[in-house]
Amino acid sequence: MKVWTKMEQIIDSISEVFGRISWLLVFYCMVFGLTDVILRYVFNRPSLWISETIQYAMVLLACLSGAYALNKDAFVKLDLFYARFSLRTKAIFDIGTSIIAFLYLYILITKGIDAAQMAIFLKTATPSAMPIPLYHLKAFIPFAVFCFLLVVIKKLVNDILLIIGYEKR
């Protein structure tokens, strides 16, 4: 159990770092989004790079914030029936959800690695006046999905421990 507790702490730490980076990305998008609007509509001087870097940041935000949100139980759930279940019944349903999540994340990781390898090979960049490399971003996606997978595994193990009576949620 000590090993599992240590693994949980590592997964929680990774998730927390992702959450903090996500906060910075949200702040970046807000500040530069407002700056772009002011440059475009007040000074009639649109930026060549701001909107593209905001899109880049939004993709990173989507990659990073998922693991953090799942770890904090911040995803929206349909609680119509789920809220009335006992902890044990919730754990059983969560295990079923974990199986579906494993399939989905497996596809994201394998296809993400393929897309990243192709992007690195082709050195892809945005098709604009100011080309920004995309292969870094595409290479980061499978890594972020793997970290999301770690959180799913953590939740699954905790659900199994709850069902067999070792631990409470």
169 belongs to a structural domain: no
Residue 109 dihedral angles phi and psi, to the nearest 5°: -70, -50
Comparing CA positions, the residue from 45, 79, 64 lying closest to residue 137 is: 64
57 belongs to a structural domain: yes
78 belongs to a structural domain: yes
Dihedral (CA of 45, 48, 49, 55) sign: positive
Distance in angstroms (rounded) separating the CA atoms of residues 64 and 70: 11
111 belongs to a structural domain: yes
- What tens digit of pLDDT does each residue of 137-168 get? 889 999 999 999 999 999 999 999 999 887 65
125 belongs to a structural domain: yes
- What tens digit of pLDDT does each residue of 41-80 get? 989 888 878 888 898 899 999 989 989 999 998 877 777 7
Query: What are the Cα distances from residue 92, in Å, to 33, 71, 163?
Result: 43, 18, 8
24 belongs to a structural domain: yes
152 belongs to a structural domain: yes
Q: Which residue segment(s) compose the domain that 16 sits in?
A: 2-164
When divided into structural domains, the chain yields a total of 1
10 belongs to a structural domain: yes
Listing DSSP states for the chain in one string gives -HHHHHHHHHHHHHHHHHHHHHHHHHHHHHHHHHHHHHHHHTSS---SSHHHHHHHHHHHHHHHHHHHHHHTT-S---HHHHTTS-HHHHHHHHHHHHHHHHHHHHHHHHHHHHHHHHHHHHT-B-SSSS--B-HHHHHHHHHHHHHHHHHHHHHHHHHHHHHHTS---
Quick one: tokens of 111? Answer: 């296809």
Determine the average pLDDT of the residues in 83-109: 90
Model pLDDT, residue 146: 94
Residue 30 sits at the vertex; the CA angle it makes with 25 and 31, to the nearest 5 degrees, is 100
